[in-house]
């Protein structure tokens, strides 16, 4: 039989339709787009900068507390080991010591010129008053120039010595971190933030064991010795009487300067919790609004303000009592000095100029010692930072 006919061919496919034209969004004017982007970036930058500032303050106090807790279990670091790292700076130490001595002796030396220029106004000769006043005017300018040079050199040279030590510590710390095995970074005490803190904060605190401590001690010793020498050369009797209350004058000045310097740090520390509540509320403001949590967040914020209120009241009472004690001791010193001076002047063993010299030397030296002691570095934090850093150096 004949073969079956072949099947018919399939119908041709319809031609493909062209794709639809792309819908381009309408262009926004350049000024409007730039303004909106700039406003968003500006607001974001402001929020980030404000939050980073508060976070930095909280992290600083937290890192110091964590460092003190970790350093309690570490072996102590001898001071000679820290001093050995500053052998390269031995040429700067004589200059720094001389500057510290001159800076510390400047306030007691001022009592010599000040007492003499006051006493000349009791001279009945007007021409003599003018002549001697011109001479002492030159001495005042000379002393002011010496104080300017000594203070600048004292701060600059000691700061240079300390920063060189900090640079060496940071370099050695980073070198020690790079040679550690991978298991070292799995420990909780060796997190990225803690290692960065060692490089940034701990290395800076270590210099309080060497240059900063020596500078403060030298300046304070020079101030004390100069005041005692001037006082006993002017009047040994009155100087012995003033020494009875000299420690109280130092304590009052020390308390006043140190309380002022620590006031802002204490205020920031007690406000940490309230700052966290505000940050959480602002970050989740949509959630707070959606669930109507404004009242609850306000009550929580008000509860966190109770502790700062109590601390502020307590600090105010302590500061008021301390300032009152300092003023009370100062007035008692005035009364004692002038009463004893009047007795010694009556029996002819003391001049009025010597009375002023002893009184000013002791009082100015007490204020200088209080200021210097309040600015001295914290040795406990410096030793804790040294333990933290040198334990990293000694780690195999």
- Whether this prediction's pTM lies above 0.85 is answered by no
CA dihedral 100, 105, 106, 107 (to 10 degrees): 120
Give the list of residues 6+ apart from residue 140 with CB closer than 8 angstroms, or none.
113
pLDDT at 53: 44
Per-residue pLDDT of 163-185, as tens digits, reads: 888 888 888 888 888 888 887 77
The string of DSSP letters for 305-365 reads THHHHHHHHHHHHHHHHHHHHHHHHHHHHHHHHHHHHHHHHHTTS--HHHHHHHHHHHHHH
Long-range contacts of 303-307 (CB under 8 A, 24+ apart): 304/273, 304/274, 304/277, 305/274, 307/270, 307/273
pLDDT at 30: 43
Per-residue pLDDT of 349-388, as tens digits, reads: 888 888 888 888 888 887 777 777 666 666 777 777 888 7
> Please, what is the average pLDDT of the chain?
76
- What letter does residue 377 receive in the DSSP assignment? -
Token pair 């001295």 in the structure block, residue: 376
Per-residue pLDDT of 133-145, as tens digits, reads: 888 888 888 889 9
Lowest mean pLDDT among 246-260, 270-284, 325-339, 357-371: 246-260
Question: Could you give the CA distance from residue 112 to residue 9 in angstroms, rounded to a whole number?
Answer: 125
pLDDT(51) > 50: no
Per-residue pLDDT of 107-130, as tens digits, reads: 888 888 888 888 888 877 778 788
Q: What are phi and psi of 37, to 5 degrees?
A: -65, -40
pLDDT at 148: 92
**Residue bearing the bigger pLDDT, 72 or 228:** 228
């Amino acid at each position: 039989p004949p073969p079956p006919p072949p099947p018919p061919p399939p119908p041709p496919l319809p031609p493909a339709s062209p794709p639809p034209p792309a819908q381009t969004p309408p262009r926004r004017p350049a000024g409007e787009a730039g303004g909106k982007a700039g406003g968003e970036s500006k607001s974001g930058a402001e929020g980030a900068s404000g939050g980073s500032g508060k976070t930095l303050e909280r992290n600083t106090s937290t890192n110091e507390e964590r460092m003190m807790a970790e350093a309690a279990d570490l072996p102590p670091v001898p001071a000679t080991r820290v001093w050995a790292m500053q052998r390269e700076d031995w040429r700067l130490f004589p200059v720094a010591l001389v500057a510290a001595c001159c800076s510390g002796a400047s306030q007691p030396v001022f009592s010599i010129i000040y007492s003499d220029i006051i006493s000349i106004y009791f001279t009945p000769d007007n021409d003599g008053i003018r002549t001697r006043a011109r001479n002492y005017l030159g001495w005042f300018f000379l002393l002011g120039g010496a104080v300017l040079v000594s203070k600048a050199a004292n701060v600059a040279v000691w700061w240079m010595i300390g920063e060189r030590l900090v640079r060496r510590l940071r370099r050695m710390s980073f070198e020690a971190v790079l040679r550690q095995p991978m298991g070292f970074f799995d420990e909780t005490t060796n997190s990225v933030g803690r290692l960065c803190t060692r490089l940034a904060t701990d290395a800076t605190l270590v210099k309080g064991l060497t240059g900063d401590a020596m500078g403060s001690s030298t300046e304070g010793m020079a101030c004390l010795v100069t005041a005692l020498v001037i006082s006993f050369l002017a009047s040994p009797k009155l100087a012995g009487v003033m020494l009875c209350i000299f420690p109280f004058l130092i304590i009052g000045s020390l308390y006043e300067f140190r309380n002022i310097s620590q006031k802002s740090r204490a205020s920031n520390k007690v406000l940490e919790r309230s700052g966290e509540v505000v940050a959480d509320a602002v970050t989740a403001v949509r959630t707070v609004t959606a669930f109507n949590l404004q009242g609850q967040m306000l009550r929580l914020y008000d509860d966190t303000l109770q502790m700062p209120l109590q601390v502020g009241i307590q600090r105010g009472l302590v500061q008021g009592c301390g300032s009152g004690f300092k003023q009370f001791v100062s007035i008692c010193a005035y009364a004692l000095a002038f009463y004893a001076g009047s007795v010694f002047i009556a029996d002819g063993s003391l001049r009025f100029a010597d009375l002023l010299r002893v009184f000013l030397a002791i009082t100015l030296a007490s204020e200088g010692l209080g200021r210097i002691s309040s600015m001295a570095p914290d040795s406990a934090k410096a030793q804790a930072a040294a333990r933290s850093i040198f334990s990293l150096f000694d780690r195999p």
